Structure 1
């Protein structure tokens, strides 16, 4: 039943040899890996305006030079990450670059920041998509958390079905979004130039007395949230068809070009139309309403915008499992993240990402504005470390043209470092938890790594010297009565060794006397040990007896506790019986020199 349901959700298992067919073309990769960056135009301009409105409506003209500055940073990042793609064609992005050039601790800081950022990506995207829906249908505003959670579940299932299938589904809405935003921008510009808009907006260069450098820097850092997701292409190079690095570089340039054009277009329209932030209606919704009215085109744009904001989370679903598998390969995360599922994706990473992002949505009540500062800082830390790592690489290796490459990465590092510092200074009240959470994540990385190294050291043997130690076997069979289960268990035990003892724990003299009499009548050829429990506990007397046997015989015999257990035909029948055997296994598994085994007896009805 469970197997059939799993097949229905994620499809048939795929052979390992089919993995090459799961690689992405440039157009599909643009849909999967750029959806996060492209969708950020839906809220990037809005984040700038929210900050500027603190100085009044007269300050909104600053959104244009700030948007141009964001575009300049985008250009730097595209050049920088293009160099990273060719330098590290195996992928991994900031984690691999920082670890290789700046050391393991810095690499873990970059990797941990990216993992946190990808979790936030899913939470922010699903929340932002919900905001777009509730802008068009305000009656749904109170259900935004539920809507976001439904979309996270949908995306998790889609990605469990495989990269190619997810890309095929996502390509249509991503390209529809790009087309619809360009239609909106072109129509809006034509309407503005033809005099169809008469908004009273402050002139460019208008002096605003109460605006400060601090406020402008805060608005700039908020606008940089539109750049999140730029690094995803360099992280996921192994997902591209060959030649992977060339296809990845072309995809990165396409993404940067489209993102830059859409972002500046939305910023210009927002200024020309005199748009101000509204908690119940997004900036894109207001622009579409002013351009087309609340007709069919408006609802189409809002629907596609909501859809792409939801699907933007898919960038994280592509990058998080891949990065987690690399960290697991280096023994900094559990090995389960290296395992490919039935559809050849890193399914454990996909499932964990869905669960953690859903918890964030619930914790923040689906409030996008509260999540975005965390989200943006989480990506600018890896941006900075990646650029610094590339600088060190060029200085060490000095390949052909290394000075030009060094200058590009130096400019990128200084710019992203400045943005990170601006975030810390201007939004500390929103992002302080990062400085608690990231050290905890890195501590977990190190503890995981230490455990794996300790485990390997203790399990390692010298194949020339270490040989198996041959001992006898003493089998202890705990029983609660004389049944078919006990009969089968004792039969199995005697087939292994003649040194078998059955143990019964009685609560009253009557129980003990009755059990001894029945055992003598049955006479299975096994000695019965009867223990008296004055406190009605089965586990404690058994443990005490087993410890005594282990202490006396550990030098000559293996001590095996063979637990009889019957298995019910239906799962629900299991809860109708005492779980003494499971409890006993739980206690005994921690005994150093005791072997635990179970002999199952299956009931037929």
Structure 2
């Protein structure tokens, strides 16, 4: 009862299935809930570029401008490509469905496995980065990074368990406040640059010769900057969450996200270059830019506060997309079917809980250090990027609909750029991303094992024409474990007489005297029911019972009879009383649960006080 009350307080009242339509998102809310991951990457994407360039020195920072232009070109290609995926697959599924339908089972599973892991990383990276932004403004909290991050994940998990529209309503304000804050920061910063209020000697001029610069390092910086594009695919995975017309609304939301992301990313990148911002372990790049533009006043804390909020709430993109992808994989029998079940609030609560727990484990394992997670996070996105674009190419070549050549070229450009970035990642950051080459094949192998199990179960349960009839039994032997002469035992005997042709009571004694007393009392109490007693000199209750059940099962099989073990069990009036009873019955049931030819039945006896 107490659990039920707590659940209602945290999650809310259950929703009827017919209320599912009310849980669909309009474009305003969808932009907040599905774009927060991509938009929040503005807070750490530019920083990742500068971290790589910093190995050469501040004179190399001017390369951040052409690198940023390259990232924007890739963003444009991805937005155009995913627009086509949404229209081609309006029921969602994104990279997994596209790859599986057009490239085959294994490419689809690679894409699906990459995205499942990536959404876990999304939550871990976003929350950790949000905590970093918070502790940049309040340095005394640095030592509590992991604890703060875990508490925030728990909060977002509960928020999502309450339902899609509730989480979207909460998210909309921080997301749009963040956009306003960064536009204000960029606008004021650019105004100071144009009017000469910002010093022009803090950065090297574009084109300055940089000793020691190499193509390898530039490619590494570019791949790091591509982390700003994580989350772009989320809208294509969650088309079913949109109000009708779902595909059209999803495409418009995707376009709006792309435009906002391009403006914010290019603005922060330019200001970082102009003000000569150098990455610091104790303060983020956005924090340094805001400090330069505004000083440490209310506007600075507004920027930092909204940045911290969106970075934390960007994890909600993972919470929106992970359960829907899990539903597609579970429907195809590659992961447990429990992921297809809707919870009290019509959300896929098993997927939400799994994501929350997994991300907390990841945060603790990496101690909340985002720089260790981001490369793995980014490469996990570009694998499905590449596969989904390749899948669309195969689709256009196979179907050749009207205007297919333009669509083919769009997806071809997207595929080539995504593949190039992926190769750059493996070339320049192999030491940080090599683990994906191990765990991704393991995930795909696990998918296949689960699928084979479900197929085998289906094959064994399926009724086919011409199948032999199930063996008809000629009787039922009921075995009742008894500890003493009680009303619960009497109740079980009366029930056993109804369902069984032969009833046998079994008692295990730990000394000869109690064994003899039990036989005498039983003969006076239930003389018509056979009692079998065992003396257990090693005080084992379960082992003698199992030996007897084995013998009974063997003889029953020869006589074409079934064996039922009827276990009396107390049901106490108060829940905490259960800890004082039923250990023996639970232990026996645990041992009998996987016996193929034994039926296990529990007969409750309810206490009134």
Normalised to the residue count of structure 2, the TM-score between the two structures is 0.98
Would you say the 8 A contact 2:319–2:352 is kept in 1? yes
- The aligned residue for residue 493 of structure 1 is 496
Would you say the 8 A contact 2:475–2:501 is kept in 1? no
* Alpha-carbon separation, structure 2, partners of 1:11 and 1:366: 31
Task: Report Cα offsets for 1:527-561 as digits up to 9, x if no partner.
Answer: 11111222221111111111111101124211000
- The aligned residue for residue 9 of structure 1 is 10
- The aligned residue for residue 46 of structure 1 is 47
Q: What does 1:48-127 correspond to in 2, within 5 Å?
A: 48-127=49-128
| 1:187 CA displacement | 0.3
Matched, 1:545 2:563: no
* Alpha-carbon separation, structure 2, partners of 1:384 and 1:208: 33
| 1:95 CA displacement | 0.4
| 1:338 CA displacement | 0.5
Paired residue secondary structure (1:40): helix
- The aligned residue for residue 136 of structure 2 is 135
Paired residue secondary structure (2:55): helix
* Alpha-carbon separation, structure 1, partners of 2:44 and 2:62: 17
* Alpha-carbon separation, structure 1, partners of 2:500 and 2:314: 63
Q: What does 1:314-463 correspond to in 2, within 5 Å?
A: 314-462=316-464
Matched, 1:171 2:175: no
Task: Report Cα offsets for 1:287-315 as digits up to 9, x if no partner.
Answer: 11111111111111101100000010111
Paired residue secondary structure (2:570): strand
Of 575, 579, 584, the residue aligned with 2:579 is 575
Flag the 1:503–1:463 CA change in 2: closer, same or farther, 3 A.
farther
* Alpha-carbon separation, structure 1, partners of 2:566 and 2:365: 46
Of 556, 560, 581, the residue aligned with 1:556 is 560
Paired residue secondary structure (1:55): coil
Q: What does 1:235-384 correspond to in 2, within 5 Å?
A: 235-384=237-386
Of 583, 589, 597, the residue aligned with 1:593 is 597
| 1:518 CA displacement | 1.4
| 1:593 CA displacement | 0.8
* Alpha-carbon separation, structure 2, partners of 1:584 and 1:148: 43
| 1:578 CA displacement | 6.0
* Alpha-carbon separation, structure 2, partners of 1:466 and 1:254: 61
| 1:465 CA displacement | 5.2
CA RMSD between the two structures: 1.2
* Alpha-carbon separation, structure 2, partners of 1:492 and 1:578: 20
| 1:481 CA displacement | 1.2
* Alpha-carbon separation, structure 2, partners of 1:182 and 1:324: 36
Deviating more after overlay: 374-383 vs 586-595 = 586-595
* Alpha-carbon separation, structure 2, partners of 1:367 and 1:571: 43
Paired residue secondary structure (2:212): coil
Task: Report Cα offsets for 1:407-455 as digits up to 9, x if no partner.
Answer: 1111111100010011111111111111111111111111110000000
The gaps in structure 1 that reach 5 residues or longer are none
| 1:590 CA displacement | 1.8
* Alpha-carbon separation, structure 1, partners of 2:64 and 2:502: 85
> What is the aligned length?
605
The gaps in structure 2 that reach 5 residues or longer are none
* Alpha-carbon separation, structure 2, partners of 1:576 and 1:104: 52
